[in-house]
Copies of this chain bind each other. A is one copy, B any other.
Amino acid sequence: MLRNQTNYTESDRTLRKQTQRNRRKSASKRYKLLLTCVVCNGDAHGYNFDAISCESCKAFFRRNALRPPGKLKCCGNGNCNISFDQRKRCKKCRLDKCLQTGMRKEWILTDKEKQEKRIKIEQNRRLKQIHDNDNEHQQQITRRSKTDSELSTDFQNVSSSIICQTLLTEIDWSRIKRLQHAYAEAVKLNQTAGISQYPLIQPIYSTLELFRVPLYISSMRLITFFKQIPEFQQLDKDEQVYFVKLNTLTIVFLHSIFIYDYQNEIYHEPNTNDPLYLEIDWMNTINKEFHYEMKQIQMNFINLKQFDDNIMKIFFLITLFSNYFTFQYSTININTLNVFKTQNIYNELLYKYCLHHYGFNKTSLLLLQYTTNIMKIQKLITKFKSTAHNYMDITQLTPVMQSLL
């Protein structure tokens, strides 16, 4: 009976692991060059895709099994002999025989799995390199607190679906949609110059690079995002500039937490072809304490069960319109009341949104946590701005970027 292509699922994967483990236990020593490929009778080293097969059939199967059927054709009558020296003659029959003899296409990794694997390898390589080159005080940041396992998946999977309902009025609803749209537009309008078909891992070797590449893109996107917000447009030009200068960098780092992929320990704006940035690389920029504290804040965010991208986007705006230097920098005449009102629009929106989604009890705690952590970032950034010149040659940045520091 030919295999009837089933959609494989999680359980398949578990099964694979199981099978492999059992096999290891039972057949321990004996085979090495003593096996015969069940497909072509060539020499086999062991199991490949759940059948004892040779290297060539392994590669053949990997390359062809997932191709849509029907592409391969048999020139004979569909039962060509597949032997060691004739295996190349008929692909169709070779593939059929592979399947017949029990090779499983479900065990071929998907593109996504391959990508993940690649990331993991790259990460380890980098890690090793760091260890090798600079084994000075490498005071490792706690690279993983293994405790909070599945919280992270929440973070990944939270869908941002808004169900129009009681609390949120039509206007609120459209406002949120506009935020989503504005953000998506902002991302689209500021593309990186990536080349590869799958996102590449781009190393970062210095603070300057950090600010010239990933943070620069983020900044541009955020500013584009702001510019699309009506309430922002209604501010004076001066006020616009003031708030962007004052708060963008904070938001950039808030944003970086937002795009951090906890699973793979990389920074990557989802649904883009942006390069991937390894956390390890970021860690080696600026200084250790900065990232240590940032990591704490990041963890706090990730531990929030309700990590929601709409909340994040609203917070971007609330942060943008915050003026914590009310007294210090009175160089510019800010219409405080107006800004306050604007900020309040989004505070209210956020509050209603949270009430709707998370209920009364959770909401206040949730907002408190968000706010607290954002204020921590603000503080950290304020401190950083005053010492930024210690970590890079600021004149090497674009003027826009300089103005954000």
State the oligomeric state as a number of copies: 2
Stretch from A62-70, A162-170, A313-321, A370-378 at the B interface? A62-70
Residues of B near A194 (CB, < 8 A) are 135, 138
Task: For the complex, give the distance between the alpha carbons of A272 and B131 in Å.
Answer: 15
A71 touching B195 in the complex, CB below 8 Å, given contacts A271-B139, A273-B138 = no
17 CB < 8 A contacts A-B: A8-B83, A8-B85, A68-B262, A68-B263, A70-B152, A70-B153, A75-B106, A127-B197, A131-B195, A132-B195, A135-B193, A136-B191, A137-B191, A138-B194, A139-B271, A139-B273, A140-B197
Q: Is A149 an interface residue (CB 8 A)?
A: yes
A146 touching B75 in the complex, CB below 8 Å, given contacts A191-B137, A271-B139, A273-B138 = no
Q: Is A144 an interface residue (CB 8 A)?
A: yes
Q: Which 8 pairs of residues, A with B, have the shortest CB-CB distance?
A: A135-B195, A70-B153, A136-B191, A138-B273, A69-B149, A135-B194, A131-B195, A135-B193
Task: For the complex, give the distance between the alpha carbons of A194 and B135 in Å.
Answer: 6
Q: Is A147 an interface residue (CB 8 A)?
A: yes
A7 touching B83 in the complex, CB below 8 Å, given contacts A70-B263, A136-B191, A188-B137 = yes
Q: Is A150 an interface residue (CB 8 A)?
A: yes
Contact in complex: B136, A66 (CB < 8 Å): no
Contact in complex: B196, A131 (CB < 8 Å): yes
